[in-house]
């Protein structure tokens, strides 16, 4: 079975550029989550959706971050403009019950 698919796996870009991270959840899952992982702060919840509707975006750090889920099989996390402190691993996860299923993450480096 296909798991959660994230792209790209790695992204290196210069500060000020727009970054778009993509996620395809597991088919049939009605919840989608975006987390960010850093050494200093661990795993932080950024935002999550239920049936494509954002439920809680209180973890989104600033207005530079935005997330969308136009349909049940696709979500994006956008950073514009990007800054070096945004460097982290970004994970997408989906669920249909209590257990979350994670993608392999996008390792983002902002120079």
Partner 1 sequence: AQSVTQLDSQVPVFEEAPVELRCNYSSSVSVYLFWYVQYPNQGLQLLLKYLSGSTLVESINGFEAEFNKSQTSFHLRKPSVHISDTAEYFCAVGDQAGTALIFGKGTTLSVSS
Residues that bind partner 1 (CB under 8 A): 4, 30-31, 33, 35, 42-43, 45, 48, 50, 56, 91, 93, 95-105, 107
CB of 81 to partner 1, least distance (A): 27
CB of 16 to partner 1, least distance (A): 27
| Contacts (Cβ under 8 Å, ≥6 apart) of 53 | 69
Quick one: 65 or 91, whose CB is closer to partner 1? Answer: 91
Cα–Cα distances (Å) from 16 to 72, 82, 87, in that order, read: 30, 5, 13
CB of 28 to partner 1, least distance (A): 13
Quick one: 14 or 39, whose CB is closer to partner 1? Answer: 39
Quick one: 50 or 109, whose CB is closer to partner 1? Answer: 50
CB of 102 to partner 1, least distance (A): 4
Quick one: 79 or 105, whose CB is closer to partner 1? Answer: 105
| Contacts (Cβ under 8 Å, ≥6 apart) of 101 | 3, 4, 26, 29, 93, 94, 95
């Amino acid at each position: 079975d296909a798991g959660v698919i994230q792209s790209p796996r790695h992204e290196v870009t210069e500060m000020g550029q727009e970054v778009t991270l993509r996620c395809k959840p597991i088919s049939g899952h009605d919840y989608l989550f975006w987390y960010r992982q850093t050494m200093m702060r661990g795993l932080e919840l950024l935002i999550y959706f239920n049936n494509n509707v954002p439920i809680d975006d209180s973890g989104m750090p600033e207005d530079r971050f935005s997330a969308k889920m136009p349909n049940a099989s696709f979500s994006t996390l956008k950073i514009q403009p990007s800054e070096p402190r945004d460097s982290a691993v970004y994970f997408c996860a989906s669920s249909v019950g209590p257990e979350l299923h994670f993608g392999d993450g996008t390792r983002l480096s902002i120079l």
